[in-house]
Amino acid sequence: MTALSNKRVDVVIPVYNEQRDLGPSVAKLREFLIANCPYRWRIMVADNASKDRTLEIARELSTSHPGEVTYIHLEAKGRGRALKAAWQASDADVVSYMDVDLSTNLRHFMPMIEPLARGEYHVATGSRLMRGARVTRQLKREIISRCYNLIVKIMFPSRRFSDAQCGFKALSRKAVQALIPSIVDNNWFFDSELLLRAEQCGYRVWEVPVEWVEDLDTRVKIVSTAMEDLKGLWRVRTTKLQ
């Protein structure tokens, strides 16, 4: 076994009331990893206080695929909260996450994590705005996303990543230990704060153009989320990582 193949990768799927999609998505992801991932891998479902059968399904998947699928349960909602808990509980060399709807095409997963496994980068993310990306979504959300990323560029002119919000990311163990304990946001701004703080700490962000298809059943409340994002940007701009 080579040093690289001995690396371990954890793939976290944060979920809240996803009883419909969780089983099929984990099955699809598992098949992909078996066929394409040369590293030791594990799928971790991070349940955010779901009120439907999501937690029960996560338990069933863990029982059906021991060693390949596991889960954690949190009593409070928040994607950022779930990722913090899952990544800090992991001892994998590389941790990652993707949305349960698998909006990002899985073929981009290996190109995202390989530079981290080789030790060339410590933070990686998918981008829907780089040249080569292919995006299918409603015009309204496309405009909102581009406006938000323009605001990020204006407020943080030295930032090098193009897409602050793509739900497709990976970190090395070193980056988890250095960054995650100090990330404040527990919700949707978590992604932006993570990338901005990473660059503030001197980490280069590896960015991969992705094919991304919007989930029309998204739970994101656009207006309230946008307001929280703007508050978060101001907080990150005016404070330093503790």
Could you tell me if 190 and 236 are in contact, meaning their C-beta atoms sit under 8 angstroms apart?
no
Burial 201-219 (b: 16+ CB within 10 A, else e): eebebbbbbbbbeebeeee
pLDDT the model gives residue 220: 61
pTM of the model: 0.93
Would you name the residues annotated as active-site residues? 191
The sign of the CA dihedral 13, 19, 21, 25 is positive
pLDDT the model gives residue 140: 85
pLDDT the model gives residue 74: 97
Q: Which two tokens stand for residue 213?
A: 């298809």
Average pLDDT rounded to a whole number, residues 150-158: 95
- 203/22 Cα distance (integer angstroms): 33
pLDDT the model gives residue 22: 98
Q: Considering only residues 104 and 225, tell me which one the structure prediction assigns the higher pLDDT.
A: 104
96: part of which helix (H) or strand (E)? Answer: strand 94-98
AA letter at 18:
E
| Half-sphere CA count of 167, side-chain side, radius 13 A | 23
Bridge partners of 171?
Answer: 95, 123
Please list, in sequence order, all residues whose beta carbon lies within 8 angstroms of the beta carbon of residue 169, skipping any fewer than 6 positions away: 96, 97, 112, 123, 124, 125, 126, 191, 194
Chain segment 110-134, per-residue pLDDT in tens:
999 999 999 999 999 999 999 999 9
Chain segment 185-239, per-residue pLDDT in tens:
999 999 999 999 999 999 999 999 999 998 766 656 666 788 899 999 999 999 9
Q: For the chain, list the domains and their CATH numbers.
A: 8-238 (3.90.550.10)
- Count CB atoms within 10 A of the CB of residue 24: 11
Task: Give phi and psi for 160, each to the nearest 5.
Answer: -110, -20
- Count CB atoms within 10 A of the CB of residue 115: 19
Torsion of CA 36, 96, 21, 213, to 10 degrees: -80
